[in-house]
Amino acid sequence: MKKIEAIIKPFKLDEVKEALADIGVLGMTISEVRGFGRQKGHKEQYRGTEYTIEFIPKIKIEVVVPNEKADNAVKVIMNAARTGTIGDGKIFISNLDQSIRIRTGETGESAL
Amino acid sequence: MKKIEAIIKPFKLDEVKEALADIGVLGMTISEVRGFGRQKGHKEQYRGTEYTIEFIPKIKIEVVVPNEKADNAVKVIMNAARTGTIGDGKIFISNLDQSIRIRTGETGESAL
Amino acid sequence: MKKIEAIIKPFKLDEVKEALADIGVLGMTISEVRGFGRQKGHKEQYRGTEYTIEFIPKIKIEVVVPNEKADNAVKVIMNAARTGTIGDGKIFISNLDQSIRIRTGETGESAL
Amino acid sequence: MSLWLKNHKTYLCGLLVIGLLGLAFLPVLAQEATEPPAEAPAAEVAPGEAPAPKIDTGDTAWVLTCSALVLAMTAPGLVLFYGGMVRRKNALGTMMHSFIILCLISVQWVLWGYSLAFGPDKGGLIGGLEWVGLNGVGLDPNPDYAGTIPHQAFMIFQAMFAVITPALIVGAFAERIKFSAFLLFTLLWATFVYDPLAHWVWAVGGWLRNLGALDFAGGTVVHISSGVSALVCAIVLGKRIGHGSEPMPPHNLPLTLIGASMLWFGWFGFNAGSAVASGALATSAFVVTNTATAAAALAWMFAEWAYRGKPTVLGAASGAVAGLVAITPASGFVGPISSIMIGIGAGVICYFAVVMKNSFGYDDALDVFAVHGIGGTWGAIATGLFANPAINSAGKGLFFGNPGQVMTQIMAVAATWILAIVGTFILLKIVDAIIGLRLTREDEQTGLDLSQHSESGYSF
Amino acid sequence: MSLWLKNHKTYLCGLLVIGLLGLAFLPVLAQEATEPPAEAPAAEVAPGEAPAPKIDTGDTAWVLTCSALVLAMTAPGLVLFYGGMVRRKNALGTMMHSFIILCLISVQWVLWGYSLAFGPDKGGLIGGLEWVGLNGVGLDPNPDYAGTIPHQAFMIFQAMFAVITPALIVGAFAERIKFSAFLLFTLLWATFVYDPLAHWVWAVGGWLRNLGALDFAGGTVVHISSGVSALVCAIVLGKRIGHGSEPMPPHNLPLTLIGASMLWFGWFGFNAGSAVASGALATSAFVVTNTATAAAALAWMFAEWAYRGKPTVLGAASGAVAGLVAITPASGFVGPISSIMIGIGAGVICYFAVVMKNSFGYDDALDVFAVHGIGGTWGAIATGLFANPAINSAGKGLFFGNPGQVMTQIMAVAATWILAIVGTFILLKIVDAIIGLRLTREDEQTGLDLSQHSESGYSF
Amino acid sequence: MSLWLKNHKTYLCGLLVIGLLGLAFLPVLAQEATEPPAEAPAAEVAPGEAPAPKIDTGDTAWVLTCSALVLAMTAPGLVLFYGGMVRRKNALGTMMHSFIILCLISVQWVLWGYSLAFGPDKGGLIGGLEWVGLNGVGLDPNPDYAGTIPHQAFMIFQAMFAVITPALIVGAFAERIKFSAFLLFTLLWATFVYDPLAHWVWAVGGWLRNLGALDFAGGTVVHISSGVSALVCAIVLGKRIGHGSEPMPPHNLPLTLIGASMLWFGWFGFNAGSAVASGALATSAFVVTNTATAAAALAWMFAEWAYRGKPTVLGAASGAVAGLVAITPASGFVGPISSIMIGIGAGVICYFAVVMKNSFGYDDALDVFAVHGIGGTWGAIATGLFANPAINSAGKGLFFGNPGQVMTQIMAVAATWILAIVGTFILLKIVDAIIGLRLTREDEQTGLDLSQHSESGYSF
Ligand SMILES: Nc1ncnc2c1ncn2[C@@H]1O[C@H](COP(=O)(O)OP(=O)(O)O)[C@@H](O)[C@H]1O
Ligand SMILES: Nc1ncnc2c1ncn2[C@@H]1O[C@H](COP(=O)(O)OP(=O)(O)O)[C@@H](O)[C@H]1O
Ligand SMILES: Nc1ncnc2c1ncn2[C@@H]1O[C@H](COP(=O)(O)OP(=O)(O)O)[C@@H](O)[C@H]1O
């Protein structure tokens, strides 16, 4: 199994979710993260002071898929999350030893 | 070393923590995530509009353990986190190259 | 490529970020997590009741670097994040199969 | 049929509440249409003409202002005070409790509550139905209650008291009651506990009033009654799931502190408005209210600091509320130095009442009993101690040479405790039988907001 | 040059607003300097002397109190009510809308708004410029409007109405308007829609006033005008990006509920203050305001419970506001039982107006039209039905034997709708041409807070 | 022993505060008991009887209402305004500062503060101890201060001023002061800086009052004194850890905006209530307060927009407060157009004072000096410019032909600056020696909420 982690722009979440559902990936876990990279942050000003907020809100999607589905999943995430502007984010893929469904104890791909 | 990531129902956190402590796992990191899967979300209604909130609050526990403790840790997490209803969550296990304790620079299992 | 995950004290974030930038690591993703370990939590009291809050706020930094930069990155994180007191946190290193830049589709180290 | 009933209990309750409200409704509509134009307030808009004989503009301005202030005690005051103290998942639902009581009792009071409480006396125990739908409650002063303001001004001022009393109770069953059951219980409690009690203490002919019990602004009627009823609720409903094992810290203490501030602000209306006129007595009540509250907040804070090592913000806020409660019955009878004593007493006594709660084991979630029940009892007795005839000739306490007053006060307290305990217990059992009081385990774990209202308080 | 213009449009707008404000500014400064000391209020500070002949201290206290209460409706009332309902990224920007309107119109009103609205009548349509800069608006009573309070007290009370009316509209274009465009539109709308309309209905010589239309506290002037204008704004601006596809839940409903509470609290000033005196009429208005509001909140809640299965907190809060809106024109004319009817009507009608919105497809983000436009229209007509001459001899409705009143009310409503639609449409087009109404796509996605104000509401 | 002392300093401070409060306590208790029943307010509740000779119900209603409004400025006004501006970890602790000052000074004022400030004059510098414990401060009017309201009404109105003044200072030492040190400092400052200053300016016999300095509602006494003292606090305490290097954005600006709104709302009581009567002068003060505030908010916003490119919400809120500050001393002396000038001046001057702060390098965390110190100074001088004898015969400024007034104003300002600087500096040094002013590094990094109060503001 592969674990795919995608850091995307927050407003793209719904599209990515739909795209994954379309290819039969029906589970995922997301979290709110903040990213730092090429994309410039924004300025905020409070009375006399100005701050540059360098960390930008992003959504991290974690989705575990069987090996054979990984490439396809990456592809649809990329298509759905892309706006073409800096800061669209990254996809990281790593290997997973095992996955287990807590409710039933099923393991491996049938746990997904 | 193994990294165990468990996505569980939030109100099970305390029980899981106790269960891990009982087998001598004394460190862990948790985060608030939202999950999408078989478990159905809930409806919210605001004036004329109804939304289905599909992402459900979950807790992700990340715990790094020596290889030989991994199976046992997975077992106690599973037992403590299980309610038997849909949405109990998943456990993902992956391999870790190295771990380091920042304070002392210790590495490997002694860093845990 | 290596994925480095560092759990650090929140007020050390800026220093770690600067330190990484100094060695040319210009992207990272952070999230707010809570940690449990040797460091003791704090007490809170509300009217008649006293609670011990065992989970302590931490920042998790995730940064993906080419293999050859990994050791250096770990070193600077360690130096920047260390206060020498309990709870300074951990660094976990694991292997990454692939990384992709969503905007361009670049893969591997050039995606970072 | 019985299955259908079971599934629709929640909804049936709605109908029940509507039905009860509607009962008194139709007969009085006609009455309004034919209401005699006893006086012509319209004259007021025509510039230059004299106002109706006895109405004093300053007194009326004051009582209307105070009525608005007392409304602000319930919403946003209590809404915030209680809403901030619960867990996030119950924030909205808890706020809704206070808010909807404001709506429900405002209508109940106009329809039949005022008549039961202040209508023509029946045997010292209850008002008659003569004033149902405010029939006969017009814009001329009613000298029995307030000689210089329109009768309806007195009525609406009292309405706000009828509103806040059940709203105080909600802290006891917070985080675990069914919304429909809560609605029905509130309506019944207002009708069968509050309205009679208000009659006993304040109405012309009420037996406790005749007894000579002193209660300037509602120590017994409002605070003891709600505090003691809260205790009964907490015991009958049982503990929240996880009580004692999981931490249940307040989700938003800034809201609670603002709520306490709004309570303080509004309480000037409550106490100083109870003079039902502007002037010296209102001023005196205003001054002692502020002083006792401040002293009580300091006392709670220092007591906690000494006992537990840290002065807390929630403690200071709670102490302020305890002080407000305790000075309420005394506010028209005592001077500033006495009010400091009453405040210090309230802060220390209520703090230890809160601390001791844990050893009794009931789950009065937001400490209504400790603050309003115990604080109100202390205030009622303190009135019997500190009442100074130089402030108000109507009241003379132990320290001013009238030991009998303390006994009278204790009798009034006891009567209130008994009515509250018995009445609340019976009503809870009735509502439990009809609808069931508690949420299902799953709904409780989900929280009031989603399970009862399909809403989330926050979406960050 | 034209590029420069394009890049600096935003800033130019600021200058424009300043300029417009400044226009009436300089001429009147001199006037103030030479203002004759017609009366000597300073006498008041000297103890023992008699106050100026006709000023009543109770009435003045009441109207000043009410002015403060109506201010609290806008800020913090509307600030919170609307601010809590938008998404987090627009929280501050939306709150700013109400807050800055308070600032902008407070100044506009003093400079020229009051003169246009209440100044010496020109053909029933508009006030003259005689009172620009409050020239001649002094501290003696003006018996045309209020015979027992200083003229400036009446002026400042009305100022708060002029403030809140455009502030109600902001719910319609929430989350997508440029701040500079918003500022300019507001200033124009206040001047060219609100001021004339206030003249028509309330000023001596106003044609709707002469017609005999009943509007005690501003059902047409304030609520229909803002509600209908809101609809036009929603249509002209178009939908928010993602409307209908993305969820847009309120980010902080506790704030909204507190806002509704503050609206309720402040509305006592709005309605009962409209008696411009303390006494029987103010009391009557106070009582029916509270009762109708409570009934409407219950009605909305039960309607929603029946129709959708759950009683919501936002529903109860919205129902309360609908009730406040509907009772506004009727508040000085009807009795308590009628007010329950009006409230129930408001709750049910406005709830279904909100539900039906979705089938029409415009994006009135915070339902200003459904609550204020529809609710106000219902209230205006209901005034023609329920006005009871026993309460106020100036008003007699259908149910009290005067069928003609309903027609008069409908005419006033129609006139208001027409002025609001035409005026708002033209002004929006003008502002769109000068500055452009909508945010860029990117700014809208970023949110008002960062894109318009470089601030974040929360930093947790 | 000395180790024990060191470890228990915090707690000792508590005792010290109690002790100080208690000092004046016991002697006066007996007095109250024997207080002669000089007048019988109880008569008021008996319907139909005439009120005490000189008390005016409208004036009393107004002053009591205003007292409640001024309380709302501190809590929830300042609680929210300051509480929203700090970082999350200090939210509760900062709110506590304002709240507990309300409690502490309410008691101090009754025990000895009022006597020091307004008691029988001793050499123009301080009041005597004759009125300690409100001995002799009864319910009959005191014509020296307010001839138509009970003396205690004047006293409680003034109490709210004594409360808010030290509460303004807390913005300067926010996020780094020890709670115990803060408590002691506040009590000393109120006693040794505020009380004498209030005497100088307002008491019969006070030397600045005799000099003819104009300060209608407390520009010098309240704002300059707190603003200048704040500067001293900021310098003596030093910068917060991380100041200048870490971002320290406000954690909850909606709260700050609500706080600013409540300040505006309550400030009507502050300024218009300072007429200590209802009527023309109160109305005039009310009108100019609203107008100046609005103008100042706009001015700050446009200044910032021009200077930094974006109009901010915090800027508008800050501008409103600056306007309120500046109009305070002028509010009973100037007309509406002048008030616009004063407001514009306040908005622009205070904005640039805030901007310039950074080049001086002190850490006045929430800009108390820039807003209250500078804004108050501008207001005091502006009073000398714009005071119009047509509004109030007691004041005549430069523009109305009296150049000397400006000099008098400058003298009053200078005297206030000197007292504030010297007094605050000495008191800080004393408190630092006894308890230590600053938190430990670790406590500061943890935040006030956990380190000082063992509480978390939010638990989301
Ligand atoms: N080396 C990295 N390790 C982990 N996350 C990264 C790394 N580089 C970038 N990111 C994440 O990807 C996001 C987008 O990266 P950025 O450089 O801004 O734009 P782009 O993806 O278009 O190159 C960042 O905000 C950050 O969350
Ligand atoms: N393929 C997946 N990848 C990552 N997380 C998943 C995946 N499938 C499910 N999850 C996580 O597990 C949670 C529970 O899954 P769900 O399908 O609802 O129930 P169950 O665990 O009982 O099968 C989800 O809410 C989500 O957080
Ligand atoms: N076994 C573990 N797996 C995952 N995270 C851990 C583990 N042990 C500790 N941590 C994380 O590291 C943080 C610091 O650990 P702690 O034991 O408190 O101090 P130290 O790092 O000084 O040994 C914890 O708060 C937790 O977030």
Q: Is B101 in the pocket of ligand 3 (CB under 6 A)?
A: yes
Q: In this predicted structure, what is the pLDDT of residue D13?
A: 54
pLDDT at E206 over 70: yes
Contacts across the A-C interface (CB distance below 8 Å): 81
Cβ proximity of A3 and A28 under 8 Å: no
Place of tokens 């202002």: D65
d(CA D314, CA D293) in angstroms, rounded, equals: 15
d(CA E63, CA E155) in angstroms, rounded, equals: 10
Q: pLDDT tens digit string along E102-122?
A: 999 999 999 999 999 999 999
Structural Rg of chain F based on CA atoms = 22
Residues of A in contact with C102 (CB under 8 A): 6, 8, 77-78, 81-82, 88-91
Cβ proximity of D139 and D151 under 8 Å: yes
Is C7 an 8 Å CB contact of chain B?
Answer: yes
Q: pLDDT tens digit string along E365-423?
A: 999 999 999 999 999 999 999 999 999 999 999 999 999 999 999 999 999 999 999 99
d(CA D407, CA D277) in angstroms, rounded, equals: 29
DSSP conformation letters of F366-393: T-HIIIIIIHHHHHHHHHHHH--TTT-T
Place of tokens 């009557």: E284
Q: Work out which ligand 2 atom sits closest to the CA atom of B36.
A: 25
Burial zone of E16 (CB within 10 Å; 0-12 exposed, 13-18 middle, 19+ buried): middle
- Check D268 against F60: CB less than 8 A apart: no
- Check E367 against B51: CB less than 8 A apart: no
Residues of A in contact with F367 (CB under 8 A): 47-48
* Residues 340-359, chain D, touching F (beta carbon < 8 A): 340-341
d(CA C56, CA E40) in angstroms, rounded, equals: 66
Q: In this predicted structure, what is the pLDDT of residue E26?
A: 45
Q: What are phi and psi of E322, to 5 degrees?
A: -60, -40
Q: Is C74 in the pocket of ligand 3 (CB under 6 A)?
A: no
| Consecutive H or E run containing B2 | strand B2-8
Residues of F in contact with C43 (CB under 8 A): 454
State both tokens at E378.
């219902």
Q: Is C20 in the pocket of ligand 1 (CB under 6 A)?
A: no
Distant-in-sequence, close-in-space partners of E211: CB < 8 Å, separation ≥ 6: E408, E411, E412
d(CA A9, CA E84) in angstroms, rounded, equals: 24
Distant-in-sequence, close-in-space partners of F194: CB < 8 Å, separation ≥ 6: F113, F117, F162, F165, F166, F221, F225
Residues of B in contact with E357 (CB under 8 A): 48
Taking only the tens of pLDDT, chain F with its 460 residues reads 344 444 455 555 555 666 556 554 444 444 554 444 333 333 333 344 444 458 999 999 999 999 999 999 999 999 999 999 999 999 999 999 999 999 999 999 999 999 999 999 999 999 999 999 999 999 999 999 999 999 999 999 999 999 999 999 999 999 999 999 999 999 999 999 999 999 999 999 999 999 999 999 999 999 999 999 999 999 999 999 999 988 999 999 999 999 999 999 999 999 999 999 999 999 999 999 999 999 999 999 999 999 999 999 999 999 999 999 999 999 999 999 999 999 999 999 999 999 999 889 899 999 999 999 999 999 999 999 999 999 999 999 999 999 999 999 999 999 999 999 999 999 999 999 999 999 999 999 999 999 999 999 999 7
Residues of F in contact with D456 (CB under 8 A): none
Q: Is A103 in the pocket of ligand 2 (CB under 6 A)?
A: yes
* Protein residue closest via CA to atom 13 of ligand 2: B89
SS3 E330: helix
Q: In this predicted structure, what is the pLDDT of residue E361?
A: 86
Residues of B in contact with D93 (CB under 8 A): none
* Protein residue closest via CA to atom 7 of ligand 2: A27
pLDDT at A28 over 70: yes
DSSP conformation letters of C8-70: E-GGGHHHHHHHHHHTT---EEEEEEEEESSS--EEEEETTEEEEE--EEEEEEEEEE-HHHH
Chain F CA closest to residue C52: F454
Alpha-carbon distance F242 to nearest alpha carbon in chain D (angstroms) = 25
- Check F246 against C14: CB less than 8 A apart: yes
Q: In this predicted structure, what is the pLDDT of residue D361?
A: 86
Task: Write the single-letter amino acid at F141.
Answer: P
Average pLDDT, chain E: 91
Q: What is the pTM (predicted TM-score) of this model?
A: 0.94
Q: Is C38 in the pocket of ligand 3 (CB under 6 A)?
A: yes
Q: What are phi and psi of E24, to 5 degrees?
A: -85, 5
Residue B42: closest CA among A17, D89, D4, E359: D89
Mean pLDDT across D374-380: 98
* Protein residue closest via CA to atom 13 of ligand 3: C89
d(CA B109, CA A43) in angstroms, rounded, equals: 43
Q: What is the distance, to the nearest Å, from the Cα of residue E30 to the centroid of all Cα atoms in its chain?
A: 32
SS3 A49: strand
Q: Work out which ligand 1 atom sits closest to the CA atom of A34.
A: 27
* Protein residue closest via CA to atom 21 of ligand 1: A89
Q: Is B78 in the pocket of ligand 2 (CB under 6 A)?
A: no
Q: Is C6 in the pocket of ligand 3 (CB under 6 A)?
A: no
> Which ligand gives the minimal distance to the CA of B41?
2
Assess whether the previous peptide bond of D196 is cis (omega < 30° from 0).
no
Mean pLDDT across E7-36: 51
Q: What are phi and psi of E136, to 5 degrees?
A: 85, -5
Cα B64 to middle of ligand 3, angstroms: 9
d(CA F102, CA F156) in angstroms, rounded, equals: 12
d(CA E367, CA E256) in angstroms, rounded, equals: 14
Q: In this predicted structure, what is the pLDDT of residue F460?
A: 79
Mean pLDDT across C16-44: 95
Mean pLDDT across C85-110: 95
Q: Work out which ligand 3 atom sits closest to the CA atom of B27.
A: 8
